[in-house]
Chains A and B, each alone.
Chain A
């Protein structure tokens, strides 16, 4: 299944995301109206180049420590004496440049992807497990996660993906956990993390850093890469966010991921005793950042209906326990009796605010208000971010489930829907022409609950003028239900790049490249000031070899240029052909000179 299965580990610490922000305003792509002040930091009301104009795009794992492991048999430890992996680190690369965080487009910044990240498990300069993080976009973003923060700092989102091409070197570690993990899932691992409390204040020592908690576990075939094929819990009240769970039949447990579901804020803590300035003992109230829910959250199975519920209680969500977030990464387990294991297969899960109070005459009064409720039927697009070029074909892979089990022979209906893209009044219009993105409007799931929808791209014809290509979005739902029933955050975003005329690609002049190069120069000052001023023909010609090398790299390589991965296939070829021409000219001149 995934990171919710055993053997799994939890980790927490920090991350760095040094994204650049000049390109956060779509109108900054317009070379004709670009001002040099757009490369400056935001200054009071003057947005300039927003909060990090000199960002590099680097994404790093920082100070991440392994906090707990849960073995195959469901037992668990947080004690390094029992398993030396406790306290070890989750790290990124030690021998190449950092991975990169990249938006799909200036008008779709809600699916930022991580590219070229290496994940290592180890300690110091020892690496025990190492692999490549498969490109993933975040989901389940909510902007009021941390009530003591503002703007982006208040937000949280989750990433789920797989670590592939694994190299293991665990012989001498003496970790039972790593042995079990290798035996269970030698080829790839499932990884999920929640990021939040990001610091976007360039005067703060924590600038570009944020908090991360996460989980790593095994991968089994036929499961989605970026989602859980399991139980999907939807918020019923505004103070919580989506959660997901699995039923582990072997261990007879519900395993719940609540890592991105509860709010943080300044919460009261236990009072502490101090000695005051006059030397007298005193008890003072304290408050610090913590989870601020005050509900008695309880997981239950609803064997009744929505209107007339009948709850079978499985246990409390102990979010108040010390370290619940940083040590357990918000993962909770609930044991199931034989009876409840049967019940949970056929009935929805629900998380209740459950309380009891003494009434004056009749004894206990129970109150149970649903906070999160499971949708019986669910469908999700595993990969929901696509970059396409004219004549490209791609496939969206859907997973449909009923109470977490494959839902076979069910139709999935797909529609154009740009409502969730960034469409400001003064921004280019999105989603047109429709003819540049053709898709199968309805597909049916197979016995595994899987369906593939084909996407076909054509030339959009530069409808956004100063931004290459066009952005499309699709919603989807199971036949007879609505998009809101399948988590609307997971809509499909597709970038279709413009076409360039064949003769221009084959025989490009500097003037053909100039607008694109000017745009990169404008939007990425760290590059144009720090390394190559791409808008300058002399600079480009002089560095033709190195530029050809980086522009020609695999898009998955962290050294690939442009970092933003928003260069069309045709423009990339045009640039490469131009550089090739410059290099050939140089060699020709050299040969002539030699004679």
Chain B
């Protein structure tokens, strides 16, 4: 289970900062999940790759929702800076130092168990649902909320679920206070809201314009990630169909167990990993060096060239997401185009021997590079490079 540093939120500005941290956190899970998924491309491990893919898509949705949320209260998401990308291996953004170290690594069952399942592990039953008839601002509600806030604030660290609960409570309190003055904190420009049925169903990605939509959006993030305490399945829109799918933690659980999660009355909790097999063909996975860095490779190697191109494309992706979430929602399609391109660059890397480690292949490093700055350090003349 991931524990986040508990930073007291006592202003709308700090609330915005904490949502920016949530954006960074949602993004930070994507490179490790993607890398594991890329390492399964063109192998027989299609079922596992499909499960990870479904999680990645939802993490991208969560990233989008978190950006919509920040825009809704007139904040400005920042995705186009070096500091936005965490260092791998390292802790997740906002996480406690002693916590989990997340690597960039090829797929393995231990990676799923020791890292992915830890990231997604739910803790306590958290019901952030507050039914809509309580929305009317009143002092009773406010003090009720404040009581839960002080409970959370008393904790040293927060789970991801608690972190989002904390944000939700603060949104609610600030909105009550604003409403009393005849104002609203949801004063962000509607034009900045990203809603795009080409990429995400409208039931999951919608404009956040008020407290109700904000809460519904956060609920999607938390539910898809953790599920509820009694039911590991959450409702999802799968290719246009409404269906139930396991929350992330249980989806990774399926991969680790090698079997699908099913309802099982013979089990104490009513569920078991007793369904169809999810096979893993380990010897087909390219043997990628863990936590590759562009600087690991000699400037005069194909691995370097492809690593640079991967990072350049990754940076373009973050730049286009930044544009998307800062007033140009149509740029989401550019970002998605770059997502697919990212995959091709990763596959090229994983097809190249790692020049430093015999028996290993190169891999993607997810570094934010400032385009042509790189060449400053390279300094090799055209002709020397040619020969």
Residues of A in contact with B (beta carbons under 8 Å apart): 12-14, 16, 54, 56, 58, 60, 62-65, 89, 91, 93-98, 123-125, 197, 199, 203-209, 211, 288-289, 326, 526, 529-531, 542, 545-546, 549, 558-559, 583, 586-587, 589-590, 593-594
Contacts and interface: CB of A to CB of B under 8 A. Distances in A.
Given A91-B371, A93-B316, A97-B316, 12 more contacts: A63-B375, A94-B319, A97-B313, A204-B302, A207-B302, A208-B305, A530-B42, A542-B239, A545-B198, A583-B240, A589-B240, A590-B241
Contacts of B333: 549, 559
A531 B340 contact: yes
A155 to B, nearest CB: 14
A13 B320 contact: no
B10 interface: no
Contacts of A98: 313, 341
B309 A205 contact: no
Interface string B223-241: 0000000000000000111
B382 interface: yes
B334 A14 contact: no
A89 B373 CA distance: 9
Contact of B341 (A97, A125, A197, A205): A97
5 contacts: A13-B382, A65-B375, A95-B334, A96-B320, A590-B240
B341 A95 contact: no
A542 B239 CA distance: 7
B372 A123 contact: yes
Nearest to B41: A530
B344 interface: yes
Nearest to B237: A590
B323 interface: yes
A589 B241 contact: yes
Main DSSP-derived SS at the A contact region: mixed
Contacts of A56: 341, 344
Interface string B301-319: 1101100010001011001
Given A94-B371, A197-B386, A205 B338 contact: no
B319 to A, nearest CB: 4
B242 interface: yes
B323 A95 contact: yes
A589 B309 CA distance: 42
A397 B385 CA distance: 41
A93 B335 CA distance: 12
Interface string B345-378: 0011001000000000000000000111101001
Contacts of A288: 383
A586 B316 contact: no
Contact of A326 (B331, B347, B373, B382): B382
Given A586-B239, A586-B241, A289 B387 contact: yes
B343 interface: yes
A576 to B, nearest CB: 14
A526 B382 contact: no
Nearest to A212: B382
Contacts of B382: 12-14, 211, 326
Contacts of A589: 240-241
A585 B182 CA distance: 48
B132 interface: no
Contact of A54 (B309, B336, B340, B348): B348
Interface centre among A98, A530, A542, A545 (most CB of B within 10 A): A530
Nearest to B378: A63
Contacts of A326: 382
A120 B77 CA distance: 25
Interface string B164-184: 000000000000000000000
Given A13-B382, A14-B382, A530-B347, A63 B372 contact: yes
B300 interface: yes
A208 B375 CA distance: 17
B99 interface: no
B334 A96 contact: yes
A206 B383 CA distance: 11
Interface centre among B319, B337, B378 (most CB of A within 10 A): B337
Contacts of B343: 530-531
Nearest to A526: B344
B9 to A, nearest CB: 31
Contact of A206 (B42, B240, B340, B385): B385
Nearest to A559: B337
Contacts of A14: 382, 385
A206 B386 contact: yes
A22 to B, nearest CB: 15
Interface centre among A95, A207, A211 (most CB of B within 10 A): A95
A-B pairs, top 4 by smallest CB distance, nearest first, are A559-B337, A96-B334, A95-B319, A63-B375
Given A95-B331, A96-B316, A205 B301 contact: yes
Given A93-B316, A96-B316, A97-B334, A124 B373 contact: yes
B65 to A, nearest CB: 20
Contacts of A590: 240-242
A414 to B, nearest CB: 40
B240 A94 contact: no
Nearest to A543: B239
A220 B80 CA distance: 37
Contacts of B378: 63
A96 B383 contact: no
A209 B375 CA distance: 14
A587 B340 CA distance: 26
Contacts of A12: 382
A95 B341 CA distance: 12
B386 A211 contact: yes
B321 to A, nearest CB: 9
Given A95-B319, A289-B387, A586 B338 contact: no
A91 B372 contact: yes
Nearest to B337: A559
B40 to A, nearest CB: 12
Interface centre among A62, A204, A546 (most CB of B within 10 A): A62
A529 B309 CA distance: 20
A586 B340 CA distance: 24
Nearest to A208: B305
Nearest to B42: A529
